[in-house]
A and B are shown apart, each in its own frame.
Chain A
Amino acid sequence: MKIKDIPFRQLLKAAHSRAGLCIDFGMCVVRLRSRENDFLQALALLYQDFQVVEGQFIDFHIDMQRPVNYRRWMQAQIVFSINGAKPFDPFPVSHALPLFEWGLNWCIAKQGHHHLMLHAGAVEKNGKAIIFPALPGSGKSTLSAALALRGWRLLSDEFGLVRAEGGLLQAMPRPIPLKNASIQVIQDFEPSVVLGPLFPKTRKGTVAHCQPSTDSAERCKQLVKPAFVVFPQYQADSQTVLEEVLPHYAFLKLASNAFNYEVMGRTGFERLTDIVNSCICFNLTYSDLDHVIARLDGMVSQ
C-alpha cells in the first residue's frame, strides 16, 4: 500500500513499533524506526507514492532516535543508526530528514557493490535514459528536478546505478535536495512543485527536498538502458551548448567520478566501456532550464 493511502496515525504507530515502517525504494527495502513525528510527517509527504511492504527482505535497518543522555531533551539531538551501529555524530533533532537522506545514501554507497555506482543524476523519457555525471555545484540536482517536473522519470539525482549484470540502469528515485538559490529557481520554474520543509544551516547551506513524481515512484523497479551521457555545467547567462565528446573522454570523466569504480574491478571497466560505446556523450553548458529541456526532449523523441 502507498504511504499516502495509509492514515498518518497508523504510519506513526508502525514507525514507533519494534517491527518498524518498511518502505520499498525499488533497489532496496528500508526498515525505519523513529519516534520523531515531525520528521515522519515530512518523510510521509516526500515519499507519499512509495510502497509500504511487509514480509520482504530488508536491506537497511535504520533507526532515527534521540541519544540516551541529556541531549534527549536539552538542545535535542538525533542519532542515525544502521543495523545497530552508529556511524555518524548526532544532528540537531530538527535536521532529522537531511540526516536520514544523507545516511541512506551513505549506506547504499557502502554496500551497493552489485552496481557500478556513478556519481550522477539520471532521468528517463520514451525508454531512453540520460546520465548526468557531475561534481557538486554543476547544477545536476536542479537540472534533474526541472526535468522531473516536466514529465521525465527521475531515476536518481545522486546515484547512476549501473547493474553489474546486464548494465541497465537501476532507478533510485528519492526526494531531490535543492540547495540555496536552487530552491527559488525551481519554485519560479514550476510554482506547483511540492517541497518538503526548509532546513537552514545544514553543511550545504539551506536545503529543501523536491518530491519525486508519482510516475517516478511507481516505476522505481523498472530498469532502463542508458542512451546519453551528458556532463552538465551551469554557467550564468550562457547559451545552451551541447557539444559531443569522444568515448574515451567520457570514460575517464565517468570513472574518476564514480563511487566504486575501483572496487568493481574488471566488471566496472566493462560496464563503463559498454556505456560510452553505446551512448552518445555530450558536454552541456546551460543557464536557461526551459531551453535545455527542449533540447533534451528533442534528443529522446527521435
Chain B
Amino acid sequence: MLLHALMVWCLNKMMHHYSGKKSRQLLLSAFTTPATLAQLSIQEWELLVRMLRANKLLASFAARIELTHPDLKIPAKVAENFQAAQRLADYRKKLVLWELNRLNKVLAELDIDVIVLKGGAYILQGLHMSVGRLLADIDILVPKQDIARVEKHLLAHGWQTTQHDEYDQQYYRNWMHEIPALRHHERFIEVDIHHTILPLTSRLHPDPRRLFAGAVAVAGYDCKVLSTYDMLLHSAVHLFYDAELNASDLRDLLDLHELFSLFSSQDVQFWKKLEKRAVELELQRPLYYAMYFSKQLFNTEIPTDVLVASKGRPLYGVRVFMAYCVPLALLPENPDYPQKKVAFIRWLLYLRSHYLRMPLTLLIPHLLKKSKSRLQANQ
C-alpha cells in the first residue's frame, strides 16, 4: 500500500517534469535540432503533437521535417497526424490562392496599388515556409485615399462585411489600420484590408508611402508584395507591436526566423541594409526584438555585434523583462499542466500590447465597453 502510494507519487513527479521548462525544451529542440526527434518516446511525440496542434504549427512542422529530414523515422500514429494536418493546410492554401486570384481580378479594375501582406505574400513568392502554414485570412494593403473605393468595389462584387456591430464598425474605422474584414458570400477566406501596418493610435508610425515605393511585383499578378526588408519589418512590427504575444503567435516568430535565415544568406550586406531600412521606417525597436528572440529561441544566425549595435536596443531593465517574459508567453505549455506564472505573464503582455496600440484615454473606455458587451453576451 505504502509502496504503491510512493510509486504513484514518484510517477506523478516524473510526469510533472513535463510541465514547464521541459515541455518548452521539447518543442524548441524539435525545431532547432530535429535529428534528436529520433530518440523521442511515444509519449514525448504525443506531447509534441499536442503542443504543435494547439498552436496551429502541426502541418508546417510536418512539412519542415519532410523537407529537411526525409529519412527520419516517425511513429506511424504521428505520421498519420502529420498527414491529416498537411492535407488540411494544403486545402486551405488552395482556398487562399483562389481568393487571391479573385481579389486580383476584381481589384485590377480599379488600377490602384495593392500589396499582399504576410502569409498570402509568402505563398505568392513561393517561400518554402508557406508550405503547411495555416492561414486564417488574407491581408492586403492599399493606399489610404483608395480604401473607400476598394471597399465599395468589393461589396459590389459579392464580398460582405463580417462585423455587424455598430460599435465595432466605428472602432475599426476611427482607430484601426484596417477596415472590418470582408468575406465573399460564396467563400470562406476573410480579407483584411489595411491602409497602414499599425493602428493609427499606435506608438510607432511607419509611413505606408515608403512601403508602396519599395513594393515588388509578382509574376502573374497585378498585386505586389513588400520588399524583402519591409516584409521582415512588417512581420516584426506585427508580432511585437500589434499581437498579444501568446502561444498562437509563436508561428510569427518562426516566420521571422525563416525570413532572417533565407534573406541573410542571399546578401552579405543584409544586416546593414535591414538596419538602415528599419531606421527609415522608424521600426528599430520591433526589429531588435525580432532579431533577439529569433536568435534566442531558434538559434537564428544573427551576428552578435548586429544586435549590440542595433539602434532599437531598449534599456537594460526592459531587455531583462522582455527576455524573461516573451519566451514564456510565446512557447506553448503542456496542456495538462498550465502554469499560473505563464497565465500572469501573458496577461502582462496583453496589457502591454494594448498600451502600445492606443493611449490610455482611448484604451480604458474601449476595454470597459468590450467587457460590458461580453458580460451581456454571457447572460
Contacts and interface: CB of A to CB of B under 8 A. Distances in A.
Interface stretch (B30-38, B77-85, B189-197): B77-85
B210 to A, nearest CB: 40
Interface stretch (B86-94, B154-162, B178-186, B306-314): B86-94
Nearest to A56: B42
Interface stretch (B45-53, B213-221, B230-238, B272-280): B45-53
> Is chain B's interface secondary structure helix, strand, loop, or mixed overall?
helix
A113 B88 contact: yes
A22 to B, nearest CB: 11
B75 A61 contact: no
Interface size class of A (residues with CB under 8 A): 20 to 34
Contact of B87 (A18, A58, A83, A114): A114
A293 interface: no
B269 interface: no
Interface string B14-51: 01000000000000000000000000001101100010
A111 interface: yes
A57 B87 contact: no
Centre residue among B45, B77, B78 by max chain A CB count within 10 A: B77
Contact of A61 (B15, B90, B335): B335
Interface residues of B, number: 25
Interface of A: 18-19, 55-59, 61, 83-85, 111-114, 164, 262-265, 267
25 contacts: A55-B42, A55-B43, A56-B42, A57-B45, A57-B46, A58-B46, A61-B335, A61-B336, A83-B53, A84-B54, A84-B338, A85-B54, A111-B81, A112-B84, A113-B83, A113-B84, A113-B87, A113-B88, A114-B80, A114-B83, A263-B91, A265-B87, A265-B90, A265-B91, A265-B94
Interface of B: 12, 15, 42-43, 45-46, 50, 53-54, 75, 77-78, 80-81, 83-85, 87-88, 90-91, 94, 335-336, 338
Given A57-B78, A113-B87, 19 more contacts: A19-B15, A55-B43, A57-B42, A57-B75, A57-B77, A61-B336, A83-B53, A83-B335, A84-B336, A85-B54, A111-B81, A112-B84, A113-B84, A113-B88, A114-B83, A262-B91, A263-B87, A265-B91, A267-B87
